[in-house]
Amino acid sequence: MLNGQDRRTFIGGSDARIIMGDDEGNLIRLWQEKRGETEPVDFSQNLIVQLGKVTEDLNRTWYERCTKHRIKDIQRRVRHPVHKWMAATLDGMIEDTGAVFEAKFMLPWSFAEESAVEKHMAQLQHNMWVVSARYSVLSIITGGGKWVEITICADPLYQHLLLTAERKFWRCVQTGEQPTLFGVETPRPRLEAVRVVDMSSSNHWAELAACYLRTRVAHGDHEAAKLELKKLLPEDAKEATGHGVRAKRSKSGAISFETVEMGGVHASVK
């Protein structure tokens, strides 16, 4: 494990989350820690942090067992080749793909994939930037006995904002100027679709699925009829009417349809 003196010499992935966050108190405390003006926070009595530490080996083993991918470079410290004040202590790297591996423990009642990605995004993007990785894998074990794998791509825009914020913070560490919150909402990268979900328990899904199945054939007949009606419309015709249907040709050549009744005109059908 790294001691407080070691952590003062670089910005790591866990620091990135604070620098990109919205808690000014945490930001000032981190700045004081990096300058040696206060001791690092003691997490030895934080149960969630300790659960994350003791389940890290299990997390890695479970990931390897489920995916057949081997994890290497466990707890390896890497410095950025240009920005020496940037470093990453890796949970590991996936040997086959070169993706950054990050193991996390989260409580089941507050767990959602989107919030998990948002919570750890700064750390993941920081670590990917340090090692020039294109992907990272967030491997999560919840207290409810659930394991989730989420793949996150490197986001150039996010990493640009991250690098700008970290450079500004590190300059404050060196000069003694008190840092302020970066103040820019970072974009939310898309999650890679990896899950197969059973929606049988959703009543709304059931209603919409029934409607889809009920109207599927009629919709196909409707679209086929429109296509054939367009073929029947003479090329020099601006408008054609018959049997309750009116076809209109726009100046651009697009043809639209509407129903016609004795009482007036109904909604157009494109």
Provide the CATH number for the domain around residue 72.
Answer: 3.90.320.10
71 conformational bin, left if phi > 0, alpha if psi -120 to 50, beta if neither: beta
230-266: pLDDT as tens digits: 889 898 889 999 888 999 988 878 889 898 875 544 4
Lowest mean pLDDT among 13-27, 32-46, 214-228, 251-265: 251-265
Pair 21, 72 in one domain: yes
Pair 244, 160 in one domain: no
Beta-bridge partner residues of 21: none
Return the DSSP state at 44: T
Pair 51, 107 in one domain: yes
Pair 129, 93 in one domain: yes
| Residue 226: other Cβ atoms inside 10 A | 17
- Whether residue 185 is contained in a domain is answered as no
- The total number of structural domains in the chain stands at 3
197 vs 194: CA distance, rounded Å: 10
Pair 43, 153 in one domain: yes
Pair 222, 264 in one domain: no
- Whether residue 142 is contained in a domain is answered as yes
Pair 249, 137 in one domain: no
pLDDT of residue 265: 46
Q: Which domain holds residue 224?
A: 198-232
129-181: pLDDT as tens digits: 999 999 999 999 987 888 999 999 999 999 999 999 999 999 999 999 999 99
- Whether residue 105 is contained in a domain is answered as yes
- Whether residue 133 is contained in a domain is answered as yes
Pair 143, 119 in one domain: yes
Burial class (CB in 10 A: 0-12, 13-18, 19+), 172: middle
Beta-bridge partner residues of 260: 265
- Whether residue 238 is contained in a domain is answered as yes
Q: Interior CA angle at 95 toward 92 and 96, to 5°?
A: 140
pLDDT higher than threshold 90 for residue 94: yes
- Whether residue 167 is contained in a domain is answered as yes
pTM value is 0.68
